[in-house]
Amino acid sequence: MTGKKELQVSAIENGTVIDRIPSNKLFTVISILGLDNTDLTMTFGMNLNSNALGNKAIIKLWDKYLADEEINKLALVSKDIKINIIKNYEVVEKKVVSLPESINGIVRCVNPKCVTNCEGVSTRFNVVSKEPIAIQCCYCEKIFEEKRIEII
Amino acid sequence: MKGNSLISIEDLTRDDILEILERAAEFEKNPNQDLLKGKVAGVLFFEPSTRTRLSFETAINRLGGKVVGFADAKITSATKGETLKDTIKMVDNYVDFIVMRHHIEGAARYASEIAKHPVINAGDGANQHPSQTMLDLYSIKKTQGTLENLNIVMVGDLKYGRTVHSLLQAMRHFNPTFHFVAPNFLKMPDQYKRYLEVAGIPYYEHTELTTDVINEADILYMTRVQKERFSDPLEYERVKDVYILKNSMLANSKDTMKVLHPLPRVNEISTDVDENPKAYYFEQAHNGLFAREAIIAKVLGL
Ligand SMILES: [Zn+2]
């Protein structure tokens, strides 16, 4: 029956499908990719059934292909997110998200004494471990594990 | 070294560290060299630290340079709401390099991104204080003849003590074994234990400073247990005396063992240790001059 559910979010001719987003993270993905600030045509659905995930959300972007570095930012949201590239209604390429070496601007440093929280400096983190995820602030040098990562 | 600034001990490779230590040994033989003739340093202490500032200013003067700056942000426009960025940009126009201390963590890294000239971090909150680490390394190498394969015992506040964190990071290049002696709520943070695990460096944790631990040490690195860290004053009273090093405790320690301390001490090293030839903390502080001269020469490529 998942096929029927998929139809609730209409098919696109050309563009990108961001699939298997945890439902409660849909708006985080929109914000990370800056989709709330574009004139792109997009459709999305949430609380769709997925056998693997329980509830999932999906975003379809018309006539838009994302650079890998954009896609890889989504690894911070969930490593399960899948990207499908659509051409002529067909999936021509599938991409997985993989954490980049560094993360600029989208994560808050949770150290209140960090210069990024005191002087309006935009954040920069190096990924020190991908599995499990751990990132290090380039300024205060504190390391944060996945559960302490806060997306701005 | 990343760029020309020294912000974190992690910016230095093993070769950088050894090069700076060799240079420091040359400065110890001949501390007065005119390398900074015609150069001006901006020494900016947004947070006061007389000990560190005098050591840097002495180093600059002995190298023939001149100093401008301030000893406390209270007497600068920094308290009138001027941003760190504006202060650094202004000073950067006047000087050849900047030495700065700030209570905000990451402030020196940020300054190094703004300034055209090299920045030396003289302490950024609980984060880094690389010149202290270099003088610690210099003291260890000078007294042990090597940095390799040493048994290093760290005692006291290992949670907030940035000097022990940076020393641990720097020593990772030299195959050490660590012993951490601290009360449970001041023990070495997981971040640093994981760091050692990844580097394959063994460490052992203890809650008591026993002669068994001391007798294994090549370096006994004592730190202050600071009263203001404790929410319960009774807990402080109970804990503070557990970590007092007395001369009698050194009776069966290695002949070559040295006691280090970043100073100032409170009561964690009893004064009867001072006369023991194994007490090295006063010479250690003096080594700061040579280490800082070597750091300045390194960042300026002199
Ligand atoms: Zn930070």
Residue A1 banded pLDDT, cuts 50, 70, 90: very low
Parent domain of A35: 15-96
Q: Clarify whether B51 is annotated catalytic.
A: yes
Would you state the pLDDT for residue A2?
A: 47
Place of tokens 């003590």: B161
- B69: β partners: B43
Q: What is the CATH number of the domain that holds A61?
A: 3.30.70.140
Q: For residues B214 and B249, what is the distance between their CA atoms, to the nearest angstrom?
A: 8
Give the domain-ending residue among A61, A81, A96.
A96
Residue A8 banded pLDDT, cuts 50, 70, 90: low
Contact A119 B126 (CB under 8 A): no
Question: Which of B23, B62, B129, B258 is an active site residue?
Answer: B129
Domain co-membership, A38 together with A88: yes
Residue B1 placed within a domain: no
The answer, yes or no, to whether residue A4 has pLDDT greater than 60, is: no
Q: What is the CATH number of the domain that holds A146?
A: 2.30.30.20
Average pLDDT, chain A: 88
Domain co-membership, B25 together with B58: yes
Parent domain of B265: 130-285
The pTM score is 0.89
Residue A126 placed within a domain: yes
Q: For residues B180 and B7, what is the distance between their CA atoms, to the nearest angstrom?
A: 26
Domain co-membership, A84 together with A127: no
ipTM value, please give it. Answer: 0.90
Domain co-membership, A33 together with A87: yes
The answer, yes or no, to whether residue B42 has pLDDT greater than 90, is: yes
Place of tokens 């308290």: B79
If you average pLDDT over residues B262-281, what whole number do you get? 94
Residue B3 placed within a domain: no
Domain co-membership, A42 together with A87: yes
Q: Of B149, B102, B251, B292, which Cα lies nearest the Cα of A118?
A: B102
- CA atoms lying within 13 Å on the CB side of residue B207: 6
Domain co-membership, A133 together with A84: no
Contact A140 B191 (CB under 8 A): no
The answer, yes or no, to whether residue A9 has pLDDT greater than 80, is: no
Q: Clarify whether B129 is annotated catalytic.
A: yes
Domain co-membership, B35 together with B135: no
